[in-house]
């Protein structure tokens, strides 16, 4: 076959072409993909919101503030406890001293 004829034959090779169809159940596959993308986009939206610089910075600040609050309140509480403990200790010592000053108060003997 001559070269020109071959090229012509190739160019006409689509004559009588039938339309191609997708595999059966195309709509079912499409719906499944759409549902998957909706779920995916919901998670993506949440992640996208969380990794926004403003949200991330606010979260870090919040964590620092909460931590600082917990540390400060714990320190104050332990200081208060220590002061209270000291008072009790002083009171106990005073009581002891008082008792030591008159060891026989309870056993006065009349001459």
Partner 1 sequence: MEESQLIEKLKEGDRAAFKTLVERWESMVYNTALGIVQSEEDAEDVAQEVFIQVYESIDSFKGQSKLSTWIYRIAVTKSLDAIRKKKRKKRNAFLQSLYGKDDELVHDPADFVHPGVKAENKEDAAMLFKAIDRLPENQKTAFILNRVEMLSYKDVSEIMEVSVNSVDALLQRAKKNLKKYLEDIVD
Q: Is 27 in the site for partner 1 (CB under 8 A)?
A: yes
**With respect to partner 1, which residue has the nearer C-beta, 16 or 111?**
16
Asked whether 49 and 55 are in contact (CB, 8 A), the reply is yes
23 lies in the site for partner 1, by CB under 8 A: yes
Task: Please list, in sequence order, all residues whose beta carbon lies within 8 angstroms of the beta carbon of residue 59, skipping any fewer than 6 positions away.
Answer: 50
Task: Give CA angle at 53 (39, 43), nearest 5°.
Answer: 5
**CA distances in angstroms from 82 to 3, 43, 75, 88, 93, listed in the order given:** 105, 50, 10, 10, 16
Interaction of residue 104 with partner 1, rule CB under 8 A = no
Which of 13, 100, 102, 110 binds partner 1 (CB under 8 A)? It is: 13
Distance CA 3, CA 1 (A): 6
Q: In terms of CB distance, is 24 or 111 closer to partner 1?
A: 24
Contact between 19 and partner 1 by CB under 8 A: the answer reads yes
Indicate whether 16 belongs to the interface with partner 1 (CB under 8 A).
Answer: yes
Contacts to partner 1 by CB under 8 A:
3, 6-7, 9-11, 13-23, 26-27, 29-30, 33-34, 37
């Amino acid at each position: 076959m001559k070269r020109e004829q071959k090229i012509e034959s190739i160019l006409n090779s689509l004559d009588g072409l039938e339309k191609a169809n997708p595999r059966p159940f195309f709509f079912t596959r499409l719906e499944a993909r759409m549902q998957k993308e909706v779920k995916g986009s919901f998670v993506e939206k949440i992640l996208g919101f969380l990794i926004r610089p403003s949200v991330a910075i606010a979260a870090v600040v919040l964590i620092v503030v909460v931590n600082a609050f917990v540390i400060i309140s714990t320190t104050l509480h332990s200081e208060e406890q220590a002061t209270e403990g000291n008072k009790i200790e002083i009171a106990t010592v005073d009581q002891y001293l008082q008792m030591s000053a008159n060891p026989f108060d309870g056993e006065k003997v009349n001459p």
